[in-house]
Chains A and B, each alone.
Chain A
Amino acid sequence: MSAPILELRDVVKTYGDGNGGRVAAVDHVSVAVTEGQGLGIVGESGSGKSTTVRCIVGLEKPDSGTITYDGIDLASASRAERKRFRREVQMVFQDPYSSLSPRLSVEEIVGEGLVVHAPRMSRAQRRDRCVEVLETVGLDAGALPRFPRSFSGGQRQRIAIARALAPEPRMLICDEPVSALDVSVQAQVITLLRRMHRELGLTMLFIAHDLAVVRHLCDSVLVMHEGRVEETGPVSSVYAQPEAGYTRALLDAIPIPDPARDRARRARWRASTIAEETTPA
Chain B
Amino acid sequence: MTTVPPVLDVRDLTVDVRAAHGPVRLLHGVSLQLRRGERVALVGESGSGKSVFARSLIRLDDAMTVGGSVQFDGADLVTASERRLREVRGQGIGLVFQDPLSSLDPVKRIGDQVMEPLVIRGVPKREARERARDVLDRLGVPNAARRMDAYPHEFSGGMRQRVCLAMAIVAEPAVLIADEPTTALDVRVQEQVMQLIEEISADGGPAVLLITHDLGLVAGFAHRVAVMYAGRLIEVAGVDDLYADPRHPYTRGLLDSVPRIDLHEGDLTAIPGTPASPFHPVGGCPFHPRCAAALEHCAHEEPLLTVLPSPMPFHDRQVACHRAGEIVHGRTA
Give A contacts to B, CB under 8 Å: 44-45, 152-155, 182-188, 190-191, 194, 209-213, 215-216, 239, 249-266, 269-270, 273
Contact = CB atoms under 8 A, between A and B. Distances in A.
Interface string B251-294: 00111111111100001111110110000000000000000000
Given A253-B187, A254-B187, A266-B195, A186 B220 contact: no
Contacts of B188: 44, 249-250, 253
Given A251-B261, A269-B195, 8 more contacts: A44-B186, A45-B186, A155-B274, A187-B269, A210-B259, A252-B191, A253-B191, A260-B240
Contacts of A251: 261
Contacts of B45: 182, 184-185
A182 B243 contact: no
A42 to B, nearest CB: 10
Nearest to B199: A270
A212 B45 CA distance: 20
Given A44-B188, A152-B274, A191 B268 contact: yes
Contact of B191 (A186, A194, A269): A269
B219 interface: yes
Interface of A: prevailing SS: helix
A45 B271 CA distance: 30
B216 A266 contact: no
A260 to B, nearest CB: 8
Nearest to A138: B272
B150 interface: no
Contacts of B310: none
A211 B191 CA distance: 14
9 contacts: A184-B275, A185-B45, A194-B267, A216-B268, A255-B220, A256-B262, A257-B243, A261-B219, A262-B219
Contacts of A188: 270-272
Contacts of B275: 152, 182, 184-185
B216 A183 contact: yes
A266 B259 contact: no
Interface of B: 45-46, 157, 186-191, 194-195, 198, 213-221, 239-240, 243, 253-262, 267-272, 274-275
B187 A259 contact: no
A272 B220 CA distance: 17
Nearest to B215: A257
B261 A239 contact: yes
Contact of A212 (B215, B259, B267): B259
Q: Which 9 A-B residue pairings sit nearest by Cβ, starting from the closest?
A: A262-B220, A187-B257, A187-B270, A188-B270, A44-B186, A212-B259, A253-B191, A257-B216, A262-B219
Nearest to B157: A45
Contacts of A273: 195
B191 A183 contact: no
Pick from B189, B195, B274 the residue with the most CB of A within 10 Å: B274
Contacts of A154: 274
A266 B186 contact: no
A249 B190 CA distance: 13
Contacts of B262: 256, 258, 261
B187 A258 contact: no
Contacts of B186: 44-45, 209
A187 B273 CA distance: 12
B311 to A, nearest CB: 15
